[in-house]
Amino acid sequence: MKYAAPRGTKDILPNETPLWQWVEAACREVFELYNYKEIRTPVFEATELFSRSIGTSTDIVKKEMYTFPDRKGRSLTLRPEETAPVVRACLENNLISPDNLVKLYYFGPMFRYERPQAGRQRQFHQAGVEAFGSADPLLDAEVIQMSVKLFEKLGLKDLEVDINSVGCPKCQPKFREAIKKYFTQNITKMCADCQERLEQNPLRILDCKEPVCQKYIEKAPAASDYLDPECKDNFEQVLKSLESLKVRYRVNDRLVRGLDYYTMTTFEVVSKQLGAQNAVCGGGRYDDLVAELGGKPTPAMGFAVGLERVIEIIRQLKIENRQLKIGIELFVATIGEEARKVGFDLITKARENGISSDIDYLGKSLKAQMKAADRMNAKYVYIIGEDEIVKRSAALKNMKTAEQKEVGFDGLIAEIRKGVK
Ligand SMILES: [Zn+2]
Ligand SMILES: [Zn+2]
């Protein structure tokens, strides 16, 4: 019997995790620079949380959720996204109050039952932020700027923000009506998904990537024509704030987000370094979600980043990450049983001093140990045989430069510290 990872899931192997850790550290650093704090929620929630928030007419809720009854028959769902769980956690723990701006970030696996294809997995990972409690356009601009800063930090270039406003609950229905009316004329010539969307979620037709639908989408009414004066004014202020923060943006009135709960500002960060599918993250406002899930009306804004995609982009663009932690600092190669004991004492002392180190456990020859050290990406190898034990001194080899230097047992740690700096 051979086991395999479930379809649509992937192991992230030790040769890949340094890059993941580096990306996660960059996220953490940027988010905390803007005073966002980490929140961790369970990977499963009551099913209703998602059907209520994401919308029963979305593909996610209709076809893509991992939903199952637990042993007591309660319907649970593996989280397909993290905004609703964060809102739920905030309400349950009373984090949201009128005089408090709550800024949170998260990391973690999400689950959607999709057809696995390049860049699409059933278990995938996201990082994201959510800010609750302010409708200030400057907060929109801050969140957007932060997302751009994150991708700059990760080494992406030619970044631009695609931005739109989809209006508030007062004006969005008019736009929705206009969209519905417009597409009704040609809907039979459009793709099956769009035909389904027309009744339940017409805005999502604007998101369709099917070539057959594009010529109709191009001429569709624009959200900007239906914004009421307040929404129009708000959008202008967001754009002005972006200008003052020197964030490059492009108003894209085709931009709507896939989920039902978005209001007002929606945005994507795109990089011109990438081809047609050039968006690297997306987000926006969702001012009604907190009330929808049982809280007091609370304006909110956030974005999420797909980490698999970011990792893939970094690999494709061969962005060099000097900070990647691969390998160890010291490998002690030994010849004979006595040398192994001495070597083991030395790596113990090295570890106590914060120097990552290792030794052979397989009884390998010196040549094989050198090879192993090379595979481990050891920075230094210290080679101990019988003579070395007597003189309490041995050759320290720098694996990069191949230089060798005689170093006493007692001076080893100081010597490595010098080199590591
Ligand atoms: Zn409005
Ligand atoms: Zn379509």
Q: How far apart are CA 412 and CA 346, in angstroms?
A: 9
Residue 241 Cα to ligand 2 midpoint, Å, equals 34
Residue 137 Cα to ligand 1 midpoint, Å, equals 14
pLDDT of 256 strictly over 90: no
* Secondary-structure percent of the chain, ordered helix, strand, coil, rounded to 5: 40, 20, 35
- Neighbour tally for 223: CB within 10 Å: 26
Q: How far apart are CA 193 and CA 176, in angstroms?
A: 17
Comparison of pLDDT for 316 and 364, the residue scoring more: 364
Q: What is the mean pLDDT of the chain?
A: 92
Residues forming beta bridges with residue 291, ordered by sequence position: none
What letters, b where the CB count within 10 A reaches 16 and e where it falls short, cover 36-60?
beebebebbbebebbbbbbbeebbb
CB 143 within 8 A of CB 161: no
CA distances from 290 to 18, 97, 298 (A): 37, 12, 6
Confidence tier at 258 by pLDDT (50, 70, 90): low
- Ligand at minimal distance from the CA of 207 is 2
CA distances from 92 to 41, 42, 129, 295 (A): 12, 13, 19, 9
pLDDT of 319 strictly over 70: yes
Question: Span 160-173, mean pLDDT?
Answer: 92
167: buried, middle or exposed (CB in 10 Å: 19+, 13-18, 0-12)?
A: buried
Give the 3-state secondary structure of residue 37.
strand
Q: How far is CA 230 from the centre of its chain?
A: 33
- Ligand at minimal distance from the CA of 264 is 1
- Neighbour tally for 227: CB within 10 Å: 23
Residues forming beta bridges with residue 162, ordered by sequence position: 250, 268
- Ligand at minimal distance from the CA of 228 is 1
Which residue do the tokens 């209703």 mark?
Answer: 48
Check residue 72 and give its pLDDT. 97
Q: How far apart are CA 209 and CA 79, in angstroms?
A: 25
Residue 417 Cα to ligand 1 midpoint, Å, equals 61
Query: What is the per-residue pLDDT across 371-415, written as a single tens digit (0 to 9) for each?
Result: 999 999 999 999 999 999 999 999 999 999 999 999 999 999 999
Check residue 58 and give its pLDDT. 78
Give the 3-state secondary structure of residue 334.
strand
Which amino acid, one-letter code, is at 256?
Answer: V
- Ligand at minimal distance from the CA of 191 is 2
Q: How far apart are CA 132 and CA 98, in angstroms?
A: 10
pLDDT of 27 strictly over 70: yes
Residue 404 Cα to ligand 2 midpoint, Å, equals 66
Residue 165 Cα to ligand 2 midpoint, Å, equals 22
Residue 54 Cα to ligand 2 midpoint, Å, equals 20
- Ligand at minimal distance from the CA of 135 is 1
Q: Pick left, alpha or beta for residue 318 (phi over 0 → left; psi -120 to 50 → alpha; otherwise beta).
A: left
Query: What is the per-residue pLDDT across 56-65, written as a single tens digit (0 to 9) for each?
Result: 777 888 889 9
pLDDT of 421 strictly over 60: no
- Ligand at minimal distance from the CA of 209 is 2
Residue 197 Cα to ligand 2 midpoint, Å, equals 9
- Ligand at minimal distance from the CA of 202 is 2
Residue 71 Cα to ligand 2 midpoint, Å, equals 40
Residue 401 Cα to ligand 1 midpoint, Å, equals 65
Which of 218, 105, 242 has the alpha carbon at shortest distance from 160? 242
Question: Span 285-306, mean pLDDT?
Answer: 94
Residue 65 Cα to ligand 2 midpoint, Å, equals 22
Residue 60 Cα to ligand 1 midpoint, Å, equals 26
Residue 215 Cα to ligand 2 midpoint, Å, equals 10
Query: What is the per-residue pLDDT across 6-16, written as a single tens digit (0 to 9) for each?
Result: 999 999 999 89
Element (H, E) at 372: helix 366-375
Residue 129 Cα to ligand 1 midpoint, Å, equals 24
Residue 230 Cα to ligand 1 midpoint, Å, equals 6
Q: How far apart are CA 324 and CA 38, in angstroms?
A: 23
Residue 292 Cα to ligand 1 midpoint, Å, equals 18
Q: How far is CA 390 from the centre of its chain?
A: 54
Residue 248 Cα to ligand 1 midpoint, Å, equals 25
- Ligand at minimal distance from the CA of 214 is 2
Q: How far apart are CA 281 and CA 417, in angstroms?
A: 40
Question: Span 90-104, mean pLDDT?
Answer: 93
Q: How many CA within 13 A on the CB side of residue 165?
A: 24
Check residue 420 and give its pLDDT. 61
DSSP 68-132: EE-TT--EEEE-S-SHHHHHHHHHHTT---TT--EEEEEEEEEE-----BTTB-SEEEEEEEEEE
CB 96 within 8 A of CB 132: yes
Interacting residues of 8 by C-beta distance below 8 A, sequence separation 6+: 113, 114, 116, 120, 121, 122, 123
Residue 421 Cα to ligand 1 midpoint, Å, equals 57
Query: What is the per-residue pLDDT across 28-53, written as a single tens digit (0 to 9) for each?
Result: 999 999 999 999 999 999 999 999 98
